[in-house]
Structure 1
Amino acid sequence: MIVRASPVQRALAAAGLGLVSATGFVPLGAWPLTIVALAGLSWLLHHARGPRQAAATGWWFGLGHFVLGLNWIATAFTYQATMPAWLGWLAVLLLSVYLAVFPAIAALTARAVAGRRAIPLPFALAAAWPVTEWLRATLFTGFAWNPLGVVWIGQPAAQAARYIGTYGLSALTVLAGGAVFLAALRRPGATAGAAALPLLLSLTPAPAARDTGRAIHVVQPNIDQDARNHPDYAYEGLLKLARLSHRPAAGAPPRLLFWPEAAVEYYLETDRLARDALTDLLRPGDLLVTGGTRLERDDRDNVIGARNSLFVMDAGGRLLHRYDKAHLVPYGEYLPMRALLSPIGLSRLVPGDIDFWPGPGPRSFALPRFGKIGVQICYEIIFSGHVVDRGNRPDFIFNPSNDAWFGRWGPPQHLAQARLRAIEEGLPVVRATPNGISAVIDPAGRLLRTIPTHRAGAIDMTLPAPFAPTPFGRFGNLLPLLLALALGGVAAIARWWKPR
């Protein structure tokens, strides 16, 4: 039936399987369907008439996969009054058209390595897929959202990310689908070979986490994105944050207070009155870690740019550290090709005419009494292997974010990827967002405390301790790329080996 299918039927089947594969991501979490869909993709590739048809199959699969998995992007356009809401769905489609190129490359590569033989195909596809995900996260500033390995978050198999990273988990996901494909062809030996590694790594235990005893206070004020357009937002937003950041009683231990991305609208570096107001929330020894904005000016004091920053302030109102976001969101924090796009009515999704400038990348800062903090603002946390300064490893990562414009699917997917960064690096992750999902994550990726979306609240607890550096924490994405190379070698041997 597959062999005799028309090109349109094959395209529809591949796109449908791609849609099914995306149901493995949260909030649906139907990861068994992802494996079944990948088995179907292997079946279609095995019956492709040639390289061109294999590439087309991978592209259609990717189109369905990304259109469903990235549907939250359409919601972001509803918060920008200068652009029509329907443009959001067009953006999802156009982005998916581009991103589908990477599954197409993986499919083409797998078919080229395996030829028409069934047994090497799953190994070749499992080798090619994580490499194309790494390329997707790297080229043209990168878009690393939802690699396949994220479907395992909350499952025992996710612990294997300590060794092989998220892209390695993606390889195992494809290989698991390949095992189902080989089982359908009644190849018991090859099925066992394909299933062995995913099954073995799914047994990786989650280590027990320890506690530092250091008090933390994470605030979620429940501020919607629309509220930021209100003329009194700067003051009213600060009041909400202050109410949830109540000053502790005398004798309480020092605490580390976390506020979300862009929580403070006042320019803390130059506004001493704003800093003095914030000190009322702090007792001696307390520290406030908050998102804010820094303006860049020219020699004539004209504003020419901005930084999406994080500030650390002590109880005396002194700014101890500043981190500037390095990995900015195209069309969100800056408008590419502004001279061409502005005249035709396009603008940033975040209101404002001034583009943000990138910072230097991951940095660790020593905090008195609280250890070393690493910072990844919002979207930066999704880039596997690029979230810590490996030469100065932090004790924990703070991920202030603003997920208020991510729709229903975006916030849980963002949280899932933050949990994988914790597992990969063996580091606790603290998240503070305006309206969810704020969380404290231990270094095994477990959710210790959360505040759900659209609810105001605060988390009072002690900070988990880090694990010793993981293998992935030492070597980064070299490990999943070596795994891909090994799987490619197995595929090549399986294609050319002829039993006597």
Structure 2
Amino acid sequence: MTIPVGRKGLLAALLFGALSALGFQPVGLWPLVPFGFAALLWLLSAAPRLRRALALGWAFGVGQFLVGLNWIATAFTFQAEMPAWLGWVAVFLLSLYLAVYPALAAGLSWRFGRARPLAAVLALAGGWAIAEWLRATMFTGFAWNPAGVALVDTPWRAIAPFVGTYGLSLLSVLMGGALWLGLARRTSEAMVMAALLALCGLVGGLHAATPYTDTPIRIVQPNIDQADKWRDGFDRVAAEKLYALSTRQGRAGPTLLLWPEAAVVDPVEDERLYGAPAARFERLRAIRSLREGDLLLTGGLGVQSTDGYKVAGATNSVYAIDTKGEIVARYDKAHLVPYGEYLPMRTILEPIGLSRLAPGSLDFTFGPGARSLDLGHFGTVGLQVCYEIIFSGQVVDRSDRPDFIFNPSNDAWFGAFGPPQHLAQARLRAAEEGLPVVRATPTGISAVVDARGRLLDRIGWREAGIIDGVLPGALAPTPFARLGNLLPLLLAAGSLLIAIALGRGRR
């Protein structure tokens, strides 16, 4: 088959990138991700110069992000001061920027793989993994939908404790590379690569049983829509929904009760600003759901002041509240969402009508980072609020390893694509760290994930309900838990170095 060049080549790259995005959730046709890489390698093999290779990688990335990030357009529909169509403009502009990283990987593949197809595969694999790590790091980072997350429901997920998410991304590219080499009649190289990939999958499928604790938990999903959440007077309706679900029959013994992000929309602390009666009222309303020995972990808002009187900022927080209404622990979200929780360049953007997607004129302030909170006989919890869970290698305080991770989230403004993609990434964090992850969201998908990344229970999108169960146990610290992204980055660098050596040898 003739390889398309010129504008036809760029259009083909765009379409193949868009098709590869269907390998992510909620469609979940994971083979389309390796197929997309095979198609990209095919197009790169006909690129006459580096400039064309960069353009092909960029077009591929634009297509993938346009489809995969369509949920961002839904988020804009909740901002009253912005027209809904502006959401698609935001998706398009963000995709143009994010596609720079696939372009870098494609450029490396062309530069070091012109002399030998195997070198092109290895360079794309190593370059793609490094580019994804950069995408998660630069300009506060946007780590959504790395290629490796497509493998979350395959046997290869089980090697995440060793190679991490970016190692799985490298593996995804190698799968596509094996397919392309086979079609290019590089049979021996394709067979060796396919055998190694199959061996990884076979080893990944062998593992011991998951341990369990004796800690009862109840996750509450009230199905509160984003359009209602901040409506005047709706806090009473929300409180009744949370109470009804929290007190539903079925609990046995002291239970850890888990509510979503910002389940309580009025401050439950900071009496100096709101007065002790107001803040305590919110806590007492929340703990109506508790019985003797229970503990509530709930998302809530905190306010900050420099003088004790004037509000200067807010925090997106999680509170541990006991049966007396006392706050025994608190975590403030550290990795905030630009334009969602704070407005960059506010003095410029606000006067022209652009504001945060979340209600309120105050920006949230940044917390100190990953922390482990002692919950007494319920164990030690690591907190990651909503978006924070997508950042591989940044979700755990490595000096104080928790027993589990709690990920309260508000996916109510993420459309139909965002929640299942968010859950898939949370599952990879569990597999990487060897720690169970429990999620509570207002509209779904709430879930229990074991320490191997397996989905044990869930409440579907747009459903109200509860999950009663026992908290899964943690595994021993994994290699990734000890070294973070050092191993996957070394693998990526090694793949690039081998590609360079092969290319020079052939020349």
Measured after TM superposition, the shift of residue 235 of structure 1 is 1.4
Asked if 1:328 is matched to 2:336, the reply is yes
For 1:59, what is the secondary structure of its paired residue? helix
Asked if 1:431 is matched to 2:439, the reply is yes
Deviates more, 1:205-214 or 1:332-341: 205-214
Counterpart-to-counterpart distance in 2, 1:247 and 1:157: 39
Q: Return the letter of the residue paired with 2:458.
A: T
Distance 1:471 1:300, change over 3 A: closer
Asked if 1:413 is matched to 2:454, the reply is no
* Mapped contact 1:46–1:117 kept (Cα < 8 A): no
Measured after TM superposition, the shift of residue 2 of structure 1 is 4.8
Distance 1:82 1:238, change over 3 A: same
Question: Which residue of 1 is the match for residue 256 of structure 2?
Answer: 256
Question: Which residue of 2 is the match for residue 244 of structure 1?
Answer: 245
Measured after TM superposition, the shift of residue 284 of structure 1 is 2.4
* Mapped contact 2:256–2:378 kept (Cα < 8 A): yes
Measured after TM superposition, the shift of residue 91 of structure 1 is 0.3
* Mapped contact 2:215–2:255 kept (Cα < 8 A): yes
TM-score by length of 1: 0.97
Measured after TM superposition, the shift of residue 207 of structure 1 is 3.2
Q: Return the letter of the residue paired with 1:236.
A: V
Counterpart-to-counterpart distance in 1, 2:259 and 2:153: 26
* Mapped contact 1:247–1:281 kept (Cα < 8 A): no
* Mapped contact 1:36–1:180 kept (Cα < 8 A): yes
Question: Which residue of 2 is the match for residue 11 of structure 1?
Answer: 10
Distance 1:210 1:234, change over 3 A: same
Asked if 1:452 is matched to 2:465, the reply is no
Question: Which residue of 2 is the match for residue 307 of structure 1?
Answer: 315
Backbone CA RMSD of aligned residues: 1.5
Q: Give deviations 1:341-373, integer Å, cap 9, x for gaps.
A: 011111111111110001010000111111110
Distance 1:332 1:498, change over 3 A: closer
For 1:458, what is the secondary structure of its paired residue? strand
Q: Return the letter of the residue paired with 1:97.
A: L
Counterpart-to-counterpart distance in 2, 1:404 and 1:371: 29
Measured after TM superposition, the shift of residue 230 of structure 1 is 1.9
* Mapped contact 2:5–2:46 kept (Cα < 8 A): no
Q: Give deviations 1:165-196, integer Å, cap 9, x for gaps.
A: 00000000001101111101111221123323
Equivalent pairs: percent with the same residue? 55
Measured after TM superposition, the shift of residue 32 of structure 1 is 1.4
Counterpart-to-counterpart distance in 1, 2:133 and 2:215: 36
Counterpart-to-counterpart distance in 1, 2:207 and 2:406: 22
Question: Which residue of 2 is the match for residue 496 of structure 1?
Answer: 504
Q: Return the letter of the residue paired with 1:494.
A: L
For 2:302, what is the secondary structure of its paired residue? strand
Measured after TM superposition, the shift of residue 46 of structure 1 is 1.3
Measured after TM superposition, the shift of residue 400 of structure 1 is 0.1
Alignment of 1:275-424 (within 5 A): 275-299=283-307, 301-424=309-432
Counterpart-to-counterpart distance in 1, 2:355 and 2:193: 48
Q: Return the letter of the residue paired with 2:323.
A: A
Question: Which residue of 1 is the match for residue 113 of structure 2?
Answer: 114
* Mapped contact 1:18–1:37 kept (Cα < 8 A): yes
Distance 1:434 1:233, change over 3 A: same
Question: Which residue of 2 is the match for residue 93 of structure 1?
Answer: 92
* Mapped contact 1:248–1:283 kept (Cα < 8 A): no
Measured after TM superposition, the shift of residue 323 of structure 1 is 0.3
The partner residue of 2:478 within 457, 470, 473 is: 470
Counterpart-to-counterpart distance in 1, 2:285 and 2:37: 55
Asked if 1:482 is matched to 2:490, the reply is yes
Question: Which residue of 2 is the match for residue 152 of structure 1?
Answer: 151
Q: Which consecutive residues of structure 1, in runs of 5 or more, have no partner in the other structure? A: none
Question: Which residue of 2 is the match for residue 219 of structure 1?
Answer: 220
Q: Give deviations 1:208-235, integer Å, cap 9, x for gaps.
A: 1111111101000000001023211111
Question: Which residue of 1 is the match for residue 81 of structure 2?
Answer: 82
Counterpart-to-counterpart distance in 2, 1:278 and 1:351: 22
Q: Return the letter of the residue paired with 1:381.
A: I
Measured after TM superposition, the shift of residue 7 of structure 1 is 1.8
Q: Return the letter of the residue paired with 1:298.
A: T
Question: Which residue of 1 is the match for residue 177 of structure 2?
Answer: 178
Say how many residue pairs are matched: 497
Counterpart-to-counterpart distance in 1, 2:84 and 2:288: 42
Measured after TM superposition, the shift of residue 109 of structure 1 is 1.3
Counterpart-to-counterpart distance in 2, 1:242 and 1:18: 45
Runs in 1 of length 4+ with deviation above 4 angstroms?
247-250
Q: Which consecutive residues of structure 2, in runs of 5 or more, have no partner in the other structure? A: 272-278
Measured after TM superposition, the shift of residue 447 of structure 1 is 1.2
Q: Give deviations 1:463-498, integer Å, cap 9, x for gaps.
A: 111011111111110010011122112212322335
